[in-house]
Structure 1
Amino acid sequence: MSNNADIISLIPQRAPFVMVDELLLTDEKCSRTKFSINAENLFVENGKFTEPGLVENIAQTAAARVGYIANQLQQAVPVGFIGAVKNLEVFSLPNVNETIETEIAIENEVFNVTVISGKVWCNDALLAQCEMKIVINQS
């Protein structure tokens, strides 16, 4: 769908705060991204991509979905923020040089608030999951 170069056109974040490399798929209810973790990443500590990085990766997967839809409609990519994180479970942290895949599913959308469920995998092992409320700035 998108490669590293054009993921920037889908999300409002900029380096060094980009936590997705590629949008793999998106449809009405689901989106999937991948991200390769490098040693210079802001969220890497002791060779591991930490919990805040996993949460931000889930949020940016949702942002990539919204950005993709905005691009398809020839609209500006909106800015959103995390309104709440619920039921966060982290089972394992990925290492530097590993690639994670993240999937979000839309649970509910009302006005400018979207509730998603997100899951992060590495080598087919579930690393983390949560529910997240994302608020899109309408102005």
Structure 2
Amino acid sequence: MQLPVNDITSLIPQKHPFVMVGKLLLVDETITRSSFVIKSDNIMVKNGFFQEAGLMENIAQTAALRAGYLAHTENKPVENGYIGSVKNFEVYGLPKIDDELLTEINIEDKVFNVTVLTGKVWLNDTLIASCEMKVFEGK
């Protein structure tokens, strides 16, 4: 599977209508980048704007994309992940329908089945959201 990955459906456990990522752009030792175009039928859109919970889920699903991609490269099944905690979640602006988000997570630490990451979401060149997150992998 070569990057970018345009069909991410096999890499994440989430299914429509709860998919908040579109393409997988980059995976290296610590960084993962995804993109996502907001559509009008997205369940996280209200009054034409993608809501704060959607931005948080976009960061979490970028982590899921990373885990799914790495599992795929190792011929392992894609496991579910769960947000364990979120710290310092800040939203600087809400994107609207047809905007394309660029999301980057940076793996700060991984201990057993817990990944600690920082996530940032950009609209064009403007940072619109950021947080620290713990994600638990497994059943």
Q: Shared fold (TM-score greater than 0.5)?
A: yes
Matches within 5 A, 1:50-61: 50-61=51-62
Shift of 1:28: 1.1
Q: Which amino acid aligns with 1:115?
A: V
CA deviation map 1:88-130 (0-9, x unaligned): 0100000111000000000110000000000000011000000
Instruction: Kindly indicate whether residue 49 of structure 2 is the aligned counterpart of residue 43 of structure 1.
Output: no
Alignment partner, residue 72 of structure 1: 73
| RMSD, aligned α-carbons | 0.6
How many percent identity over aligned positions? 55
The residue aligned with 2:95 is: 94
Alpha-carbon offset, residue 9 of structure 1: 1.0
Structure 1 residue runs without a partner (length 5+): none
Q: Which consecutive unaligned segments of at least 5 residues does structure 2 have?
A: none
The amino acid that maps onto 1:42 is I
Distance 2:106 2:124 in 1: 20
Partner of 2:24: 23
Alpha-carbon displacement from aligned partner over 1:47-104 (angstroms, at most 9, x marks no partner) = 1000000000000000000000000000000111000010001000001110000000
Equivalent residue number for residue 10 of structure 2: 9
Corresponding residue of 1:118: 119
Partner of residue 63, structure 1: 64
Q: Tell me, in whole angstroms, the C-alpha distance in 2 between the residues paired with 1:46 and 1:15.
A: 20
SS of the residue 1:60 aligns to? helix
